[in-house]
Structure 1
Amino acid sequence: MLDKTIPYAEIWMCREREWPVEEKALPEGFHFAFYQEGDERDWAAIETAVAEFDEEAKAIDYFNEKFAPFPQALKERMLFIINDAGEKVATCSAWWKDTPDGKRHPLVHWVAVKPGYQGKGLAKAMMTRTIKLLQELEVTSPIYLHTQTWSHIAIGLYQKLGFEISDKNLDGSPNPDYEKAMDILAEIEQRKD
């Protein structure tokens, strides 16, 4: 769940593609599945549940614009975690982003776990599986991840998996939010002490 009680600042993180990652198993009662036609409704429900969108219709519009044009890639790159009741409770994509200079960059995209299922190790298992997928599917390095200060709890997980906060955007340009983001994260850490 996004913590919208703190100021927003954009964050880019990256890790070397070649760095090893130990795949974590899902807890009992859960399994992975790749996207199948019609799963966009589940994707929208998950992303709306964590407050990435304020309504599912907006999430569907985003999906249709950014993901739907790549039906084969969806079947190989968009992961879901499903519980024993058949409910999709988490999602993440081993995606990519093209930059204007013609380069393609591996991207961990739209990590989300429904409230009520957070804190069970699902995100860690999903992230390690996604990193492994990117290592298999992509040839360039590093692997990028776009996030924000509202996801400060998840940033700790990303760092444990080798991602480092960058002062640059994916295209190499300076991230104008970098200093603001670092100040916000430092303030959050001070409150914990």
Structure 2
Amino acid sequence: MTICDATIPFTKVLMVLPRKTIQEEQPLAPGYTWAPYNPDLRQPWARLMVETGLVKDEEAGLAQWDKMEHEDPEKLREHFRFILGPDNDLAATAGLFPGHDFPGRLRLHWVATSLNHQHKGLARTLITALAREYDAMPGSYPLYLSTQSQSYGAIKLYSRLGFQPYMGAYEGHTREQSEEDWKTVTDILRQTEENSRTR
């Protein structure tokens, strides 16, 4: 998992994970622990969102947490995961939360790993745990997530875990727009791959 690259123009895309794609959870790295929901995580969570480029500042991060608390406190308490590092700092987080792309459907949301804790498999641990949790729920399939061109590192991870580009229509978006957006993102992924090879 990496941070958002603000030098890349923003393009939103959706990805889907077919049911039962992930057969087992990746275990936590040594020294890391799961933490239950706690309102004291509000500020560390907001700071993590800023650190990874998912929101512009701490105020925006706090507003996002408060919005989730207001919209569906039960989902925040029951379907968000928090991983603490060896020093009990918030190392990574992600959750299942109602999305607005398909009304009434949960999506994988706010996947973030602190820069101090990257390359430990924490994002993979979170995603595999939440995917299996989703598979055990009654409801609509497949699990989906919303991501963006600026998160090309995350898109590569999602792809390795079995998520596929969603090319269909969703709320406020046509199939043709989805296809065009994915063409843009695919070009960015190809370019970043080429750049990494030439460094």
- Scaled by the length of structure 1, the TM-score of the pair is 0.88
Percent same amino acid at aligned positions?
26
Superposed displacement of residue 98, structure 1: 5.1
* Structure 1 unmatched runs, 5+: none
**1:12, 1:169 within 8 Å by CA — same for their partners in 2?**
no
Q: Name the CA shift for 1:30/1:133 in 2 (closer, same or farther; >3 Å).
A: same
**2:13, 2:166 within 8 Å by CA — same for their partners in 1?**
yes
Q: Does 1:31 align with 2:33?
A: yes
Corresponding pairs, count? 191
Which residue, 191, 196, 199 being the options, matches 1:192?
A: 196
Which residue, 55, 60, 63 being the options, matches 1:61?
A: 63
Find the aligned partners of 1:8 and 1:168 in 2 and give their Cα distance: 19
CA shift digits 1:26-49 (9 cap, x unpaired): 111101123222322121111111
Superposed displacement of residue 106, structure 1: 2.9
Larger fraction in strand: 1
Which residue, 181, 187, 199 being the options, matches 1:183?
A: 187
Find the aligned partners of 1:32 and 1:131 in 2 and give their Cα distance: 16
Find the aligned partners of 1:122 and 1:15 in 2 and give their Cα distance: 19
CA shift digits 1:133-182 (9 cap, x unpaired): 21223421011011111111111111111101122354473225222222
Aligned Cα RMSD in Å? 2.0
* Structure 2 unmatched runs, 5+: none
Superposed displacement of residue 99, structure 1: 5.5
Q: Does 1:129 align with 2:129?
A: yes
Aligned to 1:173: 174
SS in 1 for 2:105: strand
Find the aligned partners of 1:99 and 1:58 in 2 and give their Cα distance: 21
